[in-house]
A and B are shown apart, each in its own frame.
Chain A
Amino acid sequence: MMSGPPRTTADGARPWTFYALATLFTLFILFLYGPMLVIYVLSFQGPDGGVTFPMVGTSTVWFENIVKPGQMANIPVSFERSISLAALVSVLTVVFSVSAGLGFRRNFPGSGILFYLAVASLVMPSLLVGFGIALGFKFLGWDTSLFSSALGAQLTWTLPFGLFAMFAVVNRFNRSWEEAATDLGASAWQRLRLVTLPILLPGILGLAMGAFTLSYDEYARTTLAIGPKNTLPLEIYALISSATSPVLFAIGTVTTVGSFLLIGVTLFVVFRLQRRRALLVPKEG
């Protein structure tokens, strides 16, 4: 964890900039959550109400509609697809970018080109990536589908993110730990499994969660490469263009609650790991 420098004047009082920035931060949080609160409230809209105010009574009918067979029947199925795709993307992103992050610690021929390729893949307008992949599949006579073209389209987005996140993680890694392992007779594989990976673990967990989120929310890269079976964001997108109902807001509310739970669990695990490490490794000095 980072620790900021003390920002106090001689008598211990906060400088005026603290109050100015604290106000700005509070306003920003209000700005972030204002429309979100509107969503949460409107998701409890009465059965006759619409997507705008006023509220016409309250109900949980829109939450029931998410899972009810009928018009919204695709929501649970597309949710399952999104989750399994995101899980696969997350695993591949972690394995590929941790490996590449370690590889980038040496300067190797082609490292510059690969770095700029990753930057380009990240900044490429999203829809165009899916367009390119769909075009490629068309030329090869292949059908686009969830676990081929859509998976690929999402990897072009999560891998550069993963690589850059790994740069930050690897930068904080002290190589002398690895050297110590080698000096004590560890093989390259033992060194990786028993020293490098455990030290990088909190960063890797963050990376896995980040990749999962990026994939789960992604629609612009996926939309042209998905084939006939939609993921959740694409299903939501389709719902918006056809008929808007508070079901969309109910989905938003459920997503937020789910995210809170997921973040809670992940934080718990990371803190546990850090605490265990703090107990195992004596502090410097």
Chain B
Amino acid sequence: MTLLQTIGFRGQAEQREKAPFRLSPRMVSWLQVGPLAVVLIALFALPTVLFLVVSFFDYDRVGIYPAFMLDNYQDLLTTPSTLRVYISSLKFGLIVWSITLFLGFNIAYFLVFHVRRPMVRTVLFLLCAIPFWTSGIIRTIAWIPFLGRNGAFNQALMALHLTDKPLEFLLFSDFSVIITYVHLFTLLMIGPIANSWAKIDPALLEAARDSGASRWQTMYLVVIPLAKTGIALGSILVFTQVMGDYFVVRQMSGGQSASIVSMLSTEIQAMQYPPASANAMVLVLFVAIMVACMMRVVDVRKELVK
């Protein structure tokens, strides 16, 4: 490139800088995030504020009336079943979280570090993801013929003479609820963890080994710290999915357990919007606190937006 051309290009660049309608970088960013921000504010933030307001309203069988009263919250928090349902949901949340974390971590590790050929890795990833494409509703009820008295699993056990009569606890129990959750949500853990490792330079692990780290030391000092964003994201997704569920518990527990949201949807169907709103606010607060705790452990934002 000649000196003249270089100068020519510089000149053009300077001319553009002086263009009268050039937007400031900040303005460009605002315009770029604008549509997303408008949707989230109009369809998420405002409705949430709305049911915060409605949760203080009065109601009867005919309609709801603007008021400011705490009765809805008082009724909710003094009903013994509320506490029971929260404890039950929390129990499911913790059990499912620990199982999916164990599975997700190990499977992601296998896929990222053990599978050598990118093509094979992609295919194995897809193998994990394909059931995800089938409706969650159908995947849930798929467990019924699988786990039932005459189900595939019991038949297999009996054919192998592992048991002589069908196992009863498999279906319509806490067991079947947990199995279904794990089936539905493990991918939410595998994805983020694998993604946070995908960014690792392989040379980093080589360096750890060359510096004399044992394989366990590499694991604890390099691999796990690098996965923490993925673990945090996956945990948040799994935990909030379980807390927000109303279908699986209803379908798979055989009426033995309730979930917070199924309790809430009964109130919504009965058009009892103020108590439903109060219930919703308590749940939102509860989930928000749990998520905030997880985000305190890992600064997800700093890790994501680099």
B145 and A42 form a contact (CB under 8 A): yes
Interface size for B (C-beta < 8 A) is 107
A161's closest neighbor in chain B, by CB?
B237
**B41-98 interface with A by 8 A CB criterion:** 41-48, 50-51, 54
Q: A103 CB to closest chain B CB, in angstroms? A: 3
Which A residues are CB-close (under 8 A) to B265? 127
Known: A5-B206, A32-B128, A183-B9. A127 touches B47 (CB 8 A): no
Q: Lowest 8 CB-CB distances: which A-B pairs, in order?
A: A132-B47, A103-B32, A125-B244, A259-B133, A5-B202, A35-B142, A108-B29, A21-B110
Interface presence of A67 (CB below 8 A): no
Question: A residues within 8 A CB of B32?
Answer: 99-100, 102-103
Interface residue A36 (Cβ < 8 Å from any Cβ of B): yes
Q: Give residues in B with beta carbon < 8 Å to A.
A: 9, 12-13, 16, 25-26, 28-33, 35-37, 39-48, 50-51, 54, 103, 106-107, 109-116, 118, 122, 124, 126-128, 130-139, 141-146, 148, 150-153, 155, 183, 186, 195, 197-199, 202-203, 205-206, 215, 233, 236-237, 240, 243-244, 246-247, 251, 260-261, 264-265, 268, 273, 276-277, 280, 283-284, 287-288, 291, 295, 300-301, 304-306
**A240→B266 CA distance, assembly (Å):** 17
Q: In the assembly, what is the distance between CA of A39 and CA of B36, in Å?
A: 39
Task: Indicate which residue in A99, A115, A127, A132 contacts B301 across the interface (CB closer than 8 Å).
Answer: A115
Nearest to B32 among chain A residues (CB) is A103
A35 with B183: CB separation less than 8 A: yes
- 17 more CB-based (< 8 A) A-B contacts, given A36-B139, A42-B145, A118-B36: A17-B114, A24-B106, A25-B110, A35-B145, A51-B145, A53-B152, A103-B31, A122-B237, A123-B291, A128-B280, A152-B42, A152-B43, A155-B39, A167-B305, A217-B133, A236-B138, A240-B141
* CB–CB A125/B243 < 8 A: yes
| Interface residue A263 (Cβ < 8 Å from any Cβ of B) | yes
A: interface residue count bin:
35 or more
Residues of B within 8 A of A259 (CB): 130, 133-134
A123 touches B142 (CB 8 A): no
Question: Total number of A-B contacts with CB less than 8 angstroms?
Answer: 303
Interface residues of A (CB under 8 A from B): 1-7, 14-15, 17-18, 21-22, 24-25, 28-29, 31-36, 38-39, 42, 51-54, 95-97, 99-100, 102-104, 106, 108-112, 114-129, 131-133, 135-136, 139, 152-153, 155-156, 159-160, 163-164, 167-168, 171-172, 182-185, 187, 213, 217, 219-220, 224, 232-233, 236-237, 240, 244, 248-249, 251-252, 255-256, 259-260, 262-263, 267
